[in-house]
Amino acid sequence: MPYTAYISHPDCLLHDPGRHHPERPGRLHAVRNALLDEGLLEGLCLLDAPPATDAQLQRVHTAAHVAHIRASTPASGHQALLDPDTIMGEHTLQAALRAAGAGIEGVRAVMEGDADNAFCAVRPPGHHAERARAMGFCLFNNVAVAAAHALEHYALSRVAIADFDVHHGNGTEDIFRDDPRVLYCSSFQHPYYPDTPHAERDHLIHTPLAARTAGAGFRAALERDWIPAMDRFMPELVLVSAGFDAHRDDPLASLNLDEDDFAWVTRALAAVASRHAGGRLVSMLEGGYDLPALGLSAAAHVRVLCCAPERQTSGRP
Ligand SMILES: [Zn+2]
């Protein structure tokens, strides 16, 4: 059985964007409680997320962006960044640094053999954060920071990022648009937020889905677009932007997936990791705003990671 790490930090609960904001601390309680209820948490390797360093953040963000986020902490109350939904409170910086650091720790754990795969239960999410701007609840691009760490610190040359959040990860595309060492596969409701232009590159796989697309359409689209591209790319590490807001109960969007679909995509990605990356996979929480659906979906995702296929070692001594 694979050894799965669960990476989080209490500071991620301290980010308070305001009473009526959907990206709320209770999301992490919902994830953890679902894992507890289903008896999964006790089998995981619990690791604390360290804060990301400025040097790690600046592999994917401009120094000016990192300085801007650092300087935007309000003395009290809330401070809106680029858009009115992307909010900093007194403790948001700590949460954002831990969220980005979780991916660093996940990559370390799987690269150094402390875990086979990892799930990072963190907030704020990251995939809308571009190289030089915060947006869509995201300050730092957590999964991009993790990918850059794998490329730079561990000298990998092929990292795949699979993003099944209901929103397109414009930030991740912005950061890796001209870096073919990263295969970025994103499925997303379309047309929908953020509705930024998509670059056409061989290493950017866009899978737009019409509103009300359900599991069969989602699975067929990923089998058509993602799996062949990943098998051609042969990633040395698979990263996942695990947003669960494509769930049919989610209040922010209009796709009709359920937890079985999230289990299916997790199995498919774990199989890619097994074929090409020694099973190495690091998943990071992105969206998911209906708390019961988020808990069930994250539990379905983690259950598959715990039972992912063993590393394929045939042909090696
Ligand atoms: Zn989302």
CA of 125 to the centre of ligand 1 (A): 9
pLDDT tens, residue by residue, 153-170: 999 999 999 999 999 999
Does residue 219 have a pLDDT over 90? yes
pLDDT tens, residue by residue, 12-69: 999 999 989 999 999 999 999 999 999 999 999 999 999 999 999 999 999 999 999 9
Mean pLDDT, the chain, whole residue set: 95
pLDDT tens, residue by residue, 254-313: 999 999 999 999 999 999 999 999 999 999 999 999 999 999 999 999 999 998 665 554
pLDDT computed for residue 315 by the predictor: 37
Q: Which residues have a Cβ under 8 Å from the Cβ of 119 and sit 6 or more positions away?
A: 4, 5, 6, 7, 44, 242, 283, 284, 285, 298, 301, 302, 305
pLDDT computed for residue 314 by the predictor: 42
| Inter-helix orientation angle 259-276/215-233, to 10° | 10
pTM, entire model: 0.96
Strands 45-48 and 87-88: unpaired
Which residue's structure tokens are 């919902």?
A: 30
pLDDT computed for residue 79 by the predictor: 86
Does residue 317 have a pLDDT over 60? no
| Strand ranges, E, within 25-129 | 45-48, 79-80, 87-88, 117-120
pLDDT tens, residue by residue, 220-238: 999 999 999 999 999 999 9
Q: Which residues have a Cβ under 8 Å from the Cβ of 164 and sit 6 or more positions away?
A: 187, 222, 240, 241, 242, 243, 246, 262, 265
Q: Is 128 a catalytic residue?
A: yes
Return d(Cα 242, Cα 240) in angstroms, integer: 6
CA of 118 to the centre of ligand 1 (A): 20
pLDDT tens, residue by residue, 93-108: 999 999 999 999 999 9
CA of 313 to the centre of ligand 1 (A): 36
CB 147 within 8 A of CB 110: no
β-partners of residue 28 are: none
Burial of residue 258 (CB within 10 Å: 0-12, 13-18, 19+) is middle
The domain tally of the chain equals: 1
Which CATH number goes with the domain that contains 112? Answer: 3.40.800.20
Question: What domain range is 170 assigned to?
Answer: 4-315
Return d(Cα 256, Cα 254) in angstroms, integer: 7
Question: Which is catalytic among the residues 61, 128, 247, 301?
Answer: 128
pLDDT computed for residue 312 by the predictor: 57
Does residue 151 have a pLDDT over 50? yes
CA of 250 to the centre of ligand 1 (A): 10
Using a CB cutoff of 5 Å, list residues around ligand 1, an ion.
165, 167, 243, 245, 287
Tokens of 194: 């953020």
pLDDT computed for residue 123 by the predictor: 98
pLDDT tens, residue by residue, 57-77: 999 999 999 999 999 999 988
CA of 253 to the centre of ligand 1 (A): 8
CA of 108 to the centre of ligand 1 (A): 26
| Closest listed residue to residue 89, CA positions, set 194, 171, 13 | 13
SS3 245: coil
